[in-house]
Chains A and B, each alone.
Chain A
């Protein structure tokens, strides 16, 4: 086919001049590229032409970066250590460039002064002094944080060890004197901006771990079911269907209630992720199984089997690569549901608890009428989370469309 195309191109070039020949030449190149492209290149090309998914993708990357660099970006320690005793339930301090005294190229905040006098009935009152400016600075020193610092707790005291990692105390922005709470503070004086960034990180980590566990389970269960088929398949499918009919969140709640109050925040974190993973596998397992049922009768599988390859080898080396892209898409799609489940669980107090920051933890106290009426900035993190989930849904959807070979997108 390529041969005939080439001859026709050169003929056209001879007959109607060099310009036309060149355009056809370009067209030809594009076509060749299309026919020789690998699967991932094709998916990327289709994905790129989907504007919504591309925007969502960049939002997603931005949010992931926010989460990953949370300690560097947040001016305060998100735990109780970083609380600001003098600014509890404080309103957001939004950096300004201009005010009645003129403009400055550098954003500034006003100074807060705590006073008490006979006018305030001798109670401490925070006042904003709009005449004194405090300028924001980049790369300031602040609370210490550690990267790559892990305490490994293995059973038995002797096996415990610590990887010290690196300690930093530089942060992206801050002020030399006074405080910078751009999203305000909560009832204990913790900085909501710092907490939000750390909460994004937590959500991403819970989601990743949960998705990973459910992915491994789905591969094993779906793989066995699809590859061997027959009675085993029937039995596993019945079991999967039964698990699928049990409503997950009530089940989560039943499982999360096992967690004793004495567990540390990290233990809780792993337990919740594992539960999320344990309950999330059936949908993916079904996809894997359906695909394997179709593929296992193909000739290349028979060829591998005739050469004496074992079941595990055939599944891993021959069958799995044939649908990696679909699996990745499914993983991205199932991610936001993990995040949402974790948020819901933490919100009702069965998931993560205070020293760990997650959206659910941050929203635990907002149902009080007091908060609803007076401290609406508690809801700022919600925007980030809706953005995170929306971005994941859009990207997942875009990827699904892009990975679908039947979707009608021109090269």
Chain B
């Protein structure tokens, strides 16, 4: 048990270190955007009819702490994020970022995770089947379908679905809520409405994730199936589904769990563009807005940091889960 705590602690420390490094990268990017927050505030005041001078800008910079050295500002930012969960204010919109994000980030995280689950629900059984089957036709077509999933970018898929639905149903299928629920409080009716809209983004995002997962599962299963322990199990008289589930499938589980973090990364990559096409109102398109329209570096930084943090968190969880699930890792970690 002691060893397990030690393992969990080192993993947690590494995760925190990664987050710190990422926050440094994100913060330096935010700094690189031309123009500081002080200039933006005053530019806004200028549009309101106030005269401003260089002194005003300097005073504003002092007020916002922009005259301090880079590392100190980074420390402040990270401290606020880690200990108080505060991302500060957005310079352009002059609003608190936490308020701006609201439940949007959780919604988009939910959509991404759901599409990931959807992808694996399809990929694991199909991948195992295709690795076990000798049929050339089945394998060839599966291979083609999954390559097609890789080659057809998600935004094109979304476009095609929209094209189809406008032609057939006269509805573009965009948005996450119907009009009457858009600003309503959370209620059962709103959840149902949300679910009736969310299937499309989940499907579109899950599409290429499924293709990737299918490839991984199949390759792993093929690798494992040719190993000696499977032959030995066959010699003991096992066959069919029982053999597959009890031997190669369990061995392939480890790498698959391990790759979940990177799959989430990939889904996040697709999110903003799909969101832009389907006009979803969650963090993805918010990011797009904050970047494309106004160079809102605080908001963009906060979103990138949150996305990365959820990937790091997932990686941490999968590491721990693997130690619990996989007897080989468990033994080395927990010293059984």
Contacts and interface: CB of A to CB of B under 8 A. Distances in A.
Interface of A: 52, 238-239, 241-251, 253-258, 336, 340, 343-344, 347-350, 363, 366-367, 369, 372-373, 376, 379, 382, 386, 389-390, 393-394, 397
B270 interface: yes
Given A249-B270, A250-B269, A389-B150, A369 B308 contact: no
A249 B269 contact: yes
B54 interface: no
Interface of B: 14, 17-18, 21-22, 25-26, 29, 32-34, 140, 143, 147-148, 150-153, 155-156, 159, 162-163, 166-167, 172, 261-262, 265, 268-270, 272-273, 276-277, 287-288, 291-292, 295, 297, 300-301, 303-304, 307-308, 311-312, 315
> What are the 6 closest A-B residue pairs judged by CB atoms, nearest first?
A247-B268, A389-B151, A242-B21, A249-B269, A390-B151, A257-B291
B273 A245 contact: no
Contacts of A255: 29
Q: Which of B269, B292, B308 has the most CB of A within 10 A?
A: B269
A321 to B, nearest CB: 28
A394 B151 CA distance: 10
A254 B288 CA distance: 9
Contact of A258 (B32, B153, B308): B32
Nearest to A257: B291
Contacts of B34: 258
A247 B25 contact: no
B153 A257 contact: no
Contacts of B295: 257
A244 B276 CA distance: 24
A248 B307 CA distance: 11
B292 A348 contact: yes
A348 B167 contact: no
B166 A250 contact: no
A373 B166 CA distance: 7
Given A247-B304, A250-B304, A389-B151, 19 more contacts: A242-B25, A245-B311, A246-B308, A247-B307, A249-B268, A250-B303, A253-B300, A254-B29, A254-B297, A336-B150, A336-B151, A340-B153, A348-B288, A349-B292, A367-B159, A372-B166, A376-B163, A390-B148, A390-B151
B162 A246 contact: no
Contacts of B22: 242, 245-246
Contacts of A245: 18, 22, 261, 265, 308, 311-312, 315
A347 B155 contact: yes
Given A367-B277, A390-B148, A344 B155 contact: yes
Contact of B21 (A238, A258, A363, A366): A238
A253 B296 CA distance: 12
Contact of A386 (B152, B166, B292): B152
Nearest to A382: B156
Nearest to B215: A397
A74 B75 CA distance: 56
B300 A257 contact: yes
Contacts of A386: 148, 151-152, 156
B80 to A, nearest CB: 20
Nearest to B32: A258
A332 to B, nearest CB: 14
Given A389-B151, A393-B147, A250 B159 contact: no
Contacts of B162: 367, 372
A369 B172 CA distance: 8
A347 B18 contact: no
B164 to A, nearest CB: 9
B288 A253 contact: yes
B151 A254 contact: no
B291 A393 contact: no
B210 to A, nearest CB: 16
Contacts of A239: 21
Contact of A247 (B17, B33, B140, B269): B269
Nearest to A248: B269
A367 B269 CA distance: 20
Contacts of B152: 386
A348 B276 contact: yes
22 contacts: A244-B262, A246-B26, A246-B307, A246-B308, A247-B307, A247-B311, A250-B268, A250-B269, A253-B287, A254-B29, A254-B301, A256-B291, A344-B153, A344-B155, A347-B273, A348-B276, A363-B156, A376-B163, A386-B148, A389-B150, A390-B148, A393-B147
Nearest to B301: A254
A257 B269 contact: no
Nearest to B264: A247
Nearest to A408: B226
Nearest to A390: B151
Nearest to B156: A382
A254 B147 contact: no
Contacts of A249: 268-270, 272-273
Contacts of A347: 155, 273
Contact of A254 (B150, B300, B312): B300
A244 B268 CA distance: 13
A393 B163 contact: no
Contacts of B155: 344, 347
A336 B270 CA distance: 15
A348 B301 CA distance: 19
Contacts of B269: 247-250
B272 A253 contact: yes
B292 A257 contact: yes
A250 B151 contact: no
A390 B152 CA distance: 9
Contacts of B315: 245
